[in-house]
Amino acid sequence: MKGQDILSEIASTSSGEFYTPLPKGYKAGKTKYVVVTGSVISGVGKGTISSSLCKLFQDRGLKVEPIKLEAYLNVDSGTLNPFRHGEVFVLDDGSETDLDLGTYERALDKDLRGENFVTSGKIYQRIIQKERAGKYLGRDVQFIPHVTGEIKLVLRNLAMETKADVIPIEIGGTVGDYENMFALEALRELRYEEGPENVCFINITYILEPNSLGEQKSKAAQLGIKRLLAMGIQPQVIICRSQTKLKESIREKMSLYLNLAKENVFGVHDVSNIYGLPLKLRKKGFDEAILRELNLEKKFKTNGNTALKDWTKKTSIQGKAKPVTIGIVGKYTGSNDAYISILKALEHCSFKLNRPVKAKWVDATDLEKKKLEKELKGIDGVIVPGGFGTRGIEGKIAVAKHCREKNLPYLGLCLGFQIALIEFARNVLNLKGANSTEFDPKAKEPVVCLLPEQAKIEGLGGNMRLGGRDVEVKPGTIASKLHGNAKTIRRRFRHRFECNPDYIPQFEKKGIVFSGKAPKVPIMQILEMPEHKFMMASQFHPELTSRPLNPDGLFLEFVRKSAE
């Protein structure tokens, strides 16, 4: 039976045991699904390879709509500690998501929505709401078929809303995680219902290479994928990640023991520039193998790789220019993933300027104990990123003072905007009690405070300005020039506290120019100090909308000035 026949039979079954709700007008085969799982270890590169696949599909002319399924019970990523799970990536619609959504947006150069990110918590929340509303007509609500049915409904709704040719589905975590079992079961059912020609499973595994042995070992990879086989899922394509180039004997073993042709086993070893990965995968036949499984290889052909080669060239640095060293002063400096979008935005600038950018981590907490000049030695420019809480604040204020007085380029992002205001108020306006009410609720000079529109909202994660908002840019300013003299730009926000409007006249009198503000209300969103080499800050997060071939203007000018 074909997929549409199976769905028709399920829909007409009177007992309703299947519980497979379908969007109105849905037809199997109109949208294809590619499921990406990982095994052996987490951090195996699912997001990078999935986004590369999206790029390859897009290059062939397919309409691609990726989705990430996360197993944790949080409804979104908003309350997760960056040390544990990396940065919170905010979408234009205000959704707080996993950092992999940023990887997808940068690869596809397109804005995604909350529908592109689903957690188990969100699935369970929907089911409980339906159960309380009596939507299940008195049935006992179970993991199978109700949780699996809801997961499939999310995927099919996305297919109907976007009219995508293909939906890549990245499963968070690894095969064998208990919390992933129901998502994997839902996707096994999806392939049964849609038909094998409409759903392709890819597993990204890891080939160990212990230093003590000096050779590649595939047993752990085999056992990880056998757990998928035990669940009734046969991957059609396998990616073997490794430190060094995959040996042919390992490919043969994986093919033999895991029931698939050797031509569908691909090796991907560590590379220095991930932007070149799509072209490398194309040359290996990766996307062609997937399209062959989906019966699409004849419909969507390559155009000589011209666009992909151009992309690869433009996302690499030619020659051997001297690196620009940027200090990132934060409190999550033990994890690159905590500031991944900032690192990527700096990369985008390096491509445009053809100058490598090196990030140096500076722990703001340690700055409160150590000599600041020593920690900033050799740094060409400083970024103070976003964050919450009091830890490391005084260190960041000291850094802002140092940058202002020593004419060292400074870029403040969100919290970095507020830090610049507090430092200026204390040391230029001579308001010694200047602070944010976030750090000192009884501050004598609350130059940064919680505005009334936020104070009325209750609940952690619910009282922030989130997502894309318009910013009015003041003509004739540095910010205006950097944004092509645009009168209005749209950027993404994630914060509770703002510049206190009562202090704006004092700031402006002493030289701060508020070159960006919210429309119709006195909420300041960009500040600059024109007399300084480069001292600018934004209440929004420009790193979230920076793209490989279109770096953000603030970042680009900051790196350019730092390079000088």
- Average pLDDT for runs of 10 along the chain of length 564: 70 64 92 96 91 97 96 89 86 96 96 96 95 88 92 97 97 90 95 95 95 90 94 96 94 93 94 91 96 93 91 90 94 83 97 95 81 89 91 93 96 97 97 95 94 53 79 98 96 94 96 96 95 97 97 98 95
φ, ψ for residue 333 (rounded to 5)? -75, -5
Stated as kind and residue range, the H or E segment containing 119 is: strand 117-119
Q: What does the pLDDT read at residue 84?
A: 79
CA distance 37 to 410: 41
Domain ranges in the chain are 16-314, 324-563
CA nearest 237: which of 36, 41, 32? 36
Alpha helices in 34-180 (DSSP H): 46-59, 82-85, 100-108, 120-132, 148-162
Q: What does the pLDDT read at residue 375?
A: 87
Indicate which residue of 414, 438, 445, 498 is catalytic.
414
CA distance 85 to 83: 6
CATH superfamily entry for domain 324-563: Class I glutamine amidotransferase (GATase) domain (3.40.50.880)
Asked if residue 493 lies in contact with residue 467, where contact means CB atoms within 8 angstroms, the answer is: yes
CA distance 293 to 264: 10
Indicate which residue of 87, 498, 541, 557 is catalytic.
541
Pick the CATH number of 16-314 from 3.65.10.10, 3.40.50.300, 3.30.390.30, 3.90.1300.10: 3.40.50.300
Asked if residue 414 lies in contact with residue 494, where contact means CB atoms within 8 angstroms, the answer is: yes
Residue 312 Cα distances to 45, 49, 486, angstroms: 19, 15, 30
- 293 classed as catalytic: no
- 543 classed as catalytic: yes
* Identical fold, 16-314 and 324-563: yes
176 CA to centre of own chain: 24
Q: What does the pLDDT read at residue 139?
A: 86
Indicate which residue of 150, 170, 193, 543 is catalytic.
543
Asked if residue 37 lies in contact with residue 60, where contact means CB atoms within 8 angstroms, the answer is: no
Asked if residue 375 lies in contact with residue 366, where contact means CB atoms within 8 angstroms, the answer is: yes
Q: What does the pLDDT read at residue 219?
A: 94
Asked if residue 203 lies in contact with residue 235, where contact means CB atoms within 8 angstroms, the answer is: yes
Asked if residue 390 lies in contact with residue 370, where contact means CB atoms within 8 angstroms, the answer is: no
Coil, strand or helix at 493: strand
Write 480-489 long-range contacts (CB < 8 A, 24+): 480/515, 482/553, 482/554, 482/556, 482/557, 483/553, 484/553, 488/519, 489/516
Predicted TM-score (pTM) of the model is 0.93
Token pair 């919210």 is found at: 518
The upper half-sphere exposure of residue 121, i.e. CA atoms within 13 Å in the direction of its Cβ, equals: 11
Residue 348 Cα distances to 56, 316, 341, 528, 555, angstroms: 20, 9, 10, 23, 9
495 bridge partner residues: 465
Asked if residue 34 lies in contact with residue 290, where contact means CB atoms within 8 angstroms, the answer is: yes
